[in-house]
Amino acid sequence: MPAEASTATATGTGTRYLDPEALARLRNLGLAARLVVEGLFSGQHRSPRRGFSVEFAEHREYTPGVDPRHLDWKLLGRRDRLYVKQYEEKTNLRGYILLDTSASMGYRHSGPISKHEYACFCAASLAQLMQSQHDAFGLVSFAEQVDHFIPPRQGRNHLKILFEALEAARPAGRTNLVRTLHDLADRLKRRALVVLLSDLFGDGDDGPAGAQELVDAIGHLRHRKHEVIVLQVLDPAEVEFPFRDAGQIEDVESGHLVAADAEAIRRHYLEQVNAYIDTLRRGCLSRRMSFATAQTREPFGDFLARFLSHRQALHTAGA
């Protein structure tokens, strides 16, 4: 994909994240990913190298000048002395990026780019970040089943292979998230970081019951000792449902048309989709899996920076 002029501008804190309108014109995944990662490292979000995987190392006695946020207050209650938590960065991480390429990911209504494009830019940026940390990273694209499997490796050449696969991917086909995730949980033998990029909508029940079934499938990866991050990508229209005229609604994946009074179903839709997302979020968090929802109108660099900063804060707090 040819690169067009970037609208990113340099600031005192580093490179400004590209906005969605710029992304609609800039189709070079490698350049966009590099700009975002440079922004992560040089911007206000400290230490993104610790954003993915940080583990507790040891305690040491408090000395004046140490940031009090790192104090272990529970240990103070037991020992009546101040101790500081120390963390160490995990190195040589093995990561898999799971990319949903089903037809529903091609949807774009009020967002500047499709969910598929947004997810691909996020995937490219995460791979760029892992490469900059000298970690191994791979890509799994899927719709009804796994379509493309790139095992984790390190290095710039491997990053180029992954970028080419992302650029070649096209949203098509139906979704069977539950079955695919169970299959991948059985297939991925070695412990790894697994990042799922999907709208989390499938052919099954998109109500609370269906959400619980999906949480169980994602939880299968956690049961296999993988560290799991779930990044849900939605078009703003899927969250706000701005369709107020009576007409027909088309299922993106099946192509079936359903006559409906859009205003009458809007309230029901919003109740259902909010309950569905809330069940997914609570289910993932209860199993110690990270969960975040992005809307395609938000610059993906801002979304990733916010998510990684929040994740780092949770680790630092000992959550």
What stretch of H or E contains 156? helix 156-168
Confidence of residue 2 (pLDDT cuts 50, 70, 90): very low
More confident residue, 30 or 156: 156
**Mean of all residue pLDDT scores within the chain:** 78
**pTM for this entry:** 0.76
For the cut 70, the answer to whether the pLDDT of residue 185 exceeds it is yes
Please check whether residue 156 is in contact with residue 192, taking contact to mean a CB–CB distance below 8 angstroms: no
Confidence of residue 8 (pLDDT cuts 50, 70, 90): very low
Q: What is the domain partition of the chain in residue ranges?
A: 13-46+92-307, 54-89
For the cut 70, the answer to whether the pLDDT of residue 290 exceeds it is yes
- Residue 196 has what pLDDT? 98
At what angle are helices 29-42 and 156-168 packed, to 10 degrees? 120
Confidence of residue 242 (pLDDT cuts 50, 70, 90): confident
Among 76-80, 181-185, 191-195, name the one with the lowest average pLDDT: 76-80
More confident residue, 250 or 213: 213
Confidence of residue 133 (pLDDT cuts 50, 70, 90): confident
Among 131-140, 198-207, 249-258, name the one with the lowest average pLDDT: 249-258
Q: How far, in Å, CA of 248 to CA of 314, rounded?
A: 45
Q: How far, in Å, CA of 146 to CA of 64, rounded?
A: 54
Please check whether residue 101 is in contact with residue 116, taking contact to mean a CB–CB distance below 8 angstroms: yes
- Domain covering 13-46+92-307 in this structure, CATH number: 3.40.50.410
Across the range 117-129, mean pLDDT stands at 92
Chain-centroid distance, C-alpha 232:
6
- Residue 1 has what pLDDT? 35
Across the range 151-170, mean pLDDT stands at 93
- Residue 39 has what pLDDT? 72
pLDDT tens-digit readout, 84-104 = 665 544 456 889 999 999 999
More confident residue, 64 or 242: 242
Q: What are phi and psi of 135, to 5 degrees?
A: -100, 160
For the cut 70, the answer to whether the pLDDT of residue 289 exceeds it is yes
Residue 83 β-bridge partners? 61
